[in-house]
Amino acid sequence: MSTETTASAAASGNAATDRFRESGKTSSLAVDVERVNLLASKLIKAANDIVLEERVSYDEFNALKSWLIKVGADGEWPLFLDVWLEHSVEDVATDHREGNKGSIEGPYYVPEAPEQKSPATIQMRDDEKGTSLLFQGQVRSTDGSALSNAKIELWHADEEGFYSQFAPNIPQWNLRGTFIADAEGNFQINTMQPAPYQIPTDGACGQLIAAAGWHAWRPAHLHLKVSAPGHELLTAQLYFPGDEHNDDDIATAVKPELLLDIKPATEGTGVQTTYDFVLDPV
């Protein structure tokens, strides 16, 4: 975790880079020589075609070179790739599924968050700001059968749009947890509604966004990984109706099936929502 007192692009970027290095995702990456040849050749050809078609100048080439160097220096390769490319990779990986639509993992997942049995309250500060959210539902298989003791990993930003372990001065597992559903696959999790998330504006990705005249926002979202024995792991995000960025997410990760139905809480203050997950058998 960063020891700085204010959030910076480089601190969160480098934390995301460290997390990726520790994730184990790099341990089995023997991509065939034929695939590397095909994919790298296509990527290089696409870039050369752009240079020739758009008559790219030396100033533009050097701007690109210095920007790419800055992406690495700021640790923003995970952020850049997850914002602008992961959504297509996710589509390819999951378009065979009959069950729940998924969405991208993004750069801020941390495995092995503290486990609790449902019903439960996610770890949060005593004075955690925001609107209480009761998130409940059922996990089923595509044949309709309940998946008993399904596992729901939940992580999301706080009311200021910050993620624990990627912004300073937030307890390690704040707004992160692993929840075990009951014998009928039902779960009930108390949390706080997250705020919309803005890509850090002071790093390389923010510089590109400003230079291109884009906006830096993702709509407010919950991140989830839902799993059960004999079923494909579902990585998803859920969104809140009415968020102005549901239609122009910088990460292109919103799907209509992932919009929640938010209602006033029937007990206590805040809001509640019911969302059922359907997992595909492996």
Candidates 3-11, 25-33, 38-46, 100-108: pick the segment binding Fe ion (CB under 5 A).
100-108
Q: Give min distance, CB of 222 to ligand MBD, in A.
A: 10
**Residue located via tokens 């880079």:** 17
In the complex, which residue's CB is closest to ligand MBD? 106
Is the C-alpha dihedral spanning 208, 109, 273, 280 positive or negative? Answer: positive
Min. distance of Cβ 251 from Fe ion in angstroms?
8
Q: What is d(CA 165, CA 228) in angstroms, rounded to the nearest whole number?
A: 27
State the Cα–Cα distance between residues 269 and 282, nearest whole angstrom: 40
Token pair, residue 149, equals 């003791």
Q: Which is nearer to ligand MBD, 11 or 181 (CB)?
A: 11
**Among Fe ion, ligand MBD, none, what does residue 83 contact (CB within 5–8 Å per kind)?**
ligand MBD
Least Å distance, CB 44 to ligand MBD, is: 26
- 190 close to 122: Cβ distance less than 8 angstroms: yes
Q: Which is nearer to ligand MBD, 109 or 135 (CB)?
A: 109
Query: Whose Cβ is closer to ligand MBD: residue 158's or residue 232's?
Result: 158
Q: If you search the block for the tokens 């020589």, which residue do you land on?
A: 33
Binding site for ligand MBD (CB under 6 A): 79, 82-83, 104, 106-108, 197, 218, 251, 253
> Using an 8 Å Cβ cutoff, are 111 and 24 in contact?
no
Is 99 or 106 the residue whose CB approaches Fe ion more closely? Answer: 106
- C-alpha 120/C-alpha 124 separation (Å) is 12
Q: Candidates 13, 106, 194, 206: give the one binding Fe ion (CB under 5 A).
A: 106
The answer to the question of residue 219 lying near Fe ion (CB under 5 A) is no
Question: Is residue 44 packed enough to be buried (19+ CB in 10 Å), middle (13-18) or exposed (0-12)?
Answer: exposed
* Residues at the site binding Fe ion, with contacts judged by CB under 5 A: 106
